[in-house]
Structure 1
Amino acid sequence: MKLTHLGHACFLVETAGARVLIDPGCLSRFEDLRGLDAVLVTHQHADHVDGDRLEVLLDHNQGTALYVDPDTVAELPVLRAQANVVRPGDRITVGGSVVQVLGGLHAAVYADIPGCTSNAYLIDGGAFLHPGDAFVVPDVPVDVLAVPIDGPWLKLSEAVAYVSTVAPRVAVPMHEGETTDPGKYAGMLAAFSADGVVRRIDLGEPFTL
């Protein structure tokens, strides 16, 4: 599998059988991508889906399937005709890969204020997990985990605990687009996690895992 971090929560995932883009948001750079098989959106927040730029991207990638959570399709009417709504429990076949939909709700920001729907996407039985804005723990081993390190809904200690609970072979820091020192947060995550688990990927540089 080849993984390219395109900023914040956005990743291009290239498996043996598919090119999948996850969470093309306002803090990410994805406009030049071509040859995509699918775009997956975890939830409606702008840092995870930039509707206007995504519309342009899909115009340049005719035939690319778009999968979103229920709340996103309601918030982005411009994409409604193209979007396939998926929920936890669904399975998607994309090229030669299978994507399982997990999750349910965005992590709590404060107290019991309701959150929006938020999907997590597990690719090829655990090869890669993108949890969206939640701490989703699948019931299968995970090889590569994208782990949020900054946001109004989390503490770094929660990210450390999440890596420990999921116990992936590799944990890739993400959701760092609004912090001025992402290296510090990624370094602290690595310091408090098992040796060698956390690997920070250079933005825009394909990384084979």
Structure 2
Amino acid sequence: MHLTHFGHSCLLVATDQARLLFDPGAFSSGFEEARDLDAVLITHKHPDHLDLDRLPALLQANPGATLIADPGSAEALTSAGLRPHLATPDAVITVAGLPVRAVGGTHAVIHPDLPGLPNVGYLLAEGAFLHPGDSFVVPEQAVDVLALPTAAPWMKLSEAVDYLRAVQPRLAVPIHEAVLAMPRMHYDRFTELAPEGTRVRVLPRGEATAV
């Protein structure tokens, strides 16, 4: 498996079977040039995960890509004239022979006075890779590679560490870092406090990295 981080929550996951792009949002760049995609997957409708301005051109350049989205994003995408495949919690969607399970279902709480919204994480091939979106979902299956949220209005560092320890992946790759001026401070704590057997690896921006 190769991962390419386009900043914040946008990741390209390339396996022997499929090329999947997750959360092409407004805080990310470079994903516009991705080609030969089999699917574009959206965890939720916040603009840092879903850039409705750039998404249509991306899909036009990748006519074979299936657009997959949570219920909240699906509504916004349909209103924009796009046709997403709806990902409901626990649904399994097969992309180029690769099973993708939607997990979770709800965005983490930002503040009790703010309305909640749908959020689905995506689990590949029974645990090969997990992108949780904006949530702390812990699937029943063991996870090999975890896209680990680093910082957000809905979380603090200790919660990210607790989530890392709950999932216990072989490898954690930090994402959702664009809200920080110095994300390295968080990355170092992840490395220091990771559970035994888990390695933390910061991906170089825009470069395919074998994991």
Q: Which band: TM-score by shorter chain?
A: over 0.9
Tell me how far apart the structure 2 counterparts of residues 185 and 44 of structure 1 sit (CA, whole Å): 25
Q: Do the aligned partners of 1:55 and 1:79 also contact (CA within 8 Å) in 2? A: no
Paired position in structure 2 for 1:189: 190
Paired position in structure 1 for 2:13: 13
Give unmatched runs, 5+ long, in structure 1: none
Paired position in structure 1 for 2:207: 205
Q: Deviation string for 1:157-206 (max 9, x for gaps)? A: 00000010110000111100121111111112211213652111111111
Paired position in structure 2 for 1:26: 26
Tell me how far apart the structure 1 counterparts of residues 46 and 183 of structure 2 sit (CA, whole Å): 20
Q: Do the aligned partners of 1:73 and 1:80 also contact (CA within 8 Å) in 2? A: no
Letter in 1 for 2:12: L
Letter in 2 for 1:198: V
Query: Per-residue deviation at 1:111?
Result: 2.5
Q: Do the aligned partners of 2:151 and 2:157 also contact (CA within 8 Å) in 1? A: yes
Q: Deviation string for 1:25-76 (max 9, x for gaps)? A: 0011211111000000000000001011011100111121000011112223
Query: Per-residue deviation at 1:113?
Result: 3.5
SS of corresponding position for 1:17 = coil
Query: Per-residue deviation at 1:96?
Result: 2.6
Query: Per-residue deviation at 1:112?
Result: 5.8
Paired position in structure 2 for 1:98: 99
Q: How does 1:125-204 map to 2 (within 5 A)?
A: 125-194=126-195, 197-204=199-206
Q: How does 1:68-83 map to 2 (within 5 A)?
A: 68-77=69-78, 79-83=80-84
SS of corresponding position for 2:4 = strand
Query: Per-residue deviation at 1:80?
Result: 4.5
CA RMSD after TM alignment: 1.3
Give unmatched runs, 5+ long, in structure 2: none
For this pair of structures, how many residues does the alignment match?
209
TM-score by length of 1: 0.96
